[in-house]
Amino acid sequence: MLGCFNTNFQTKKSAMANEEHLKIILQGVDIWNAWRESSPEIDPDLSQADLRGTQLQKINLSDSNLQECKLQFSDLTGANLEGVNLVKSKLQGSCLQNACLKKGDLSGAGMLETNLQNANFESATIQGAQFNEDTLFSQTNLKGANLLSATGLSTAQLSQAMTDKLTQLPDYLEEEIDDDFLLQF
């Protein structure tokens, strides 16, 4: 089972991330969240930052630009990622349990072996994201989410998640679900 672990900040400077924002996040979650509270008008830019293995539990990254960010093996348990841009980010082995990613954009994100249990992806764009059989979806809210062109998903995984009629699934899953329905007769 996937855990949430690693306490080191293994960060390299990025050419694209705002250097001031990068320095603040490296000071820890409490300082980051205090800064976000005192500067609500700022939409942080951490694009292409290397934040692999960081402890970011309960961090407020709402409306942040994390495009192409390296977050492998990071702990984002309970994080506020509402409206976040995680396009083409690498989240392999990360923990997103109980995280809020409502209306986030995770197009093309690498989510192999990621723990998404109880995460809220309502109305999120997850097109073209890569998953595998080790991605955990227990009680994950995918209502209204766009998963078109996502790879590596199975009906078994999605049966553990919450979906609705607005959830858009990849074509290969739609066909599998139709076949399962027909087998009932």
Give me the pLDDT at residue 7, please.
39
- Summarize the confidence of residues 141-150 as an average pLDDT: 98
Nearest in space to 108 (alpha carbons), one of 92, 80, 93, 86: 86
Instruction: Report residue 138 as tokens.
Output: 């227990």
Instruction: Report residue 159 as tokens.
Output: 């049966």
38 in helix, strand or coil? helix
Q: What is the CA radius of gyration of the chain?
A: 17
117 in helix, strand or coil? coil
83-139 per-position pLDDT tens digit:
999 999 999 999 999 999 999 999 999 999 999 999 999 999 999 999 999 999 999
Give me the pLDDT at residue 173, please.
82
Residue 38 CB neighbour total at 10 angstroms: 8
Domains of the chain: 8-185 (2.160.20.80)
How far apart (Å, rounded) are the C-alpha atoms in residues 126 and 169? 10
Is the model's pLDDT at 78 over the cut of 90?
yes
Sequence-distant (≥ 6) Cβ neighbours of residue 139 within 8 angstroms:
117, 118, 160, 161, 162
Q: Are 113 and 132 in contact (CB under 8 A)?
A: yes
Give me the pLDDT at residue 176, please.
57
Give me the pLDDT at residue 16, please.
79
Q: What number of H helices and E strands is found in the chain?
A: 4, 0
pTM (two decimals): 0.86
146 in helix, strand or coil? strand
Is the model's pLDDT at 4 over the cut of 80?
no
15 in helix, strand or coil? coil
Give me the pLDDT at residue 175, please.
60
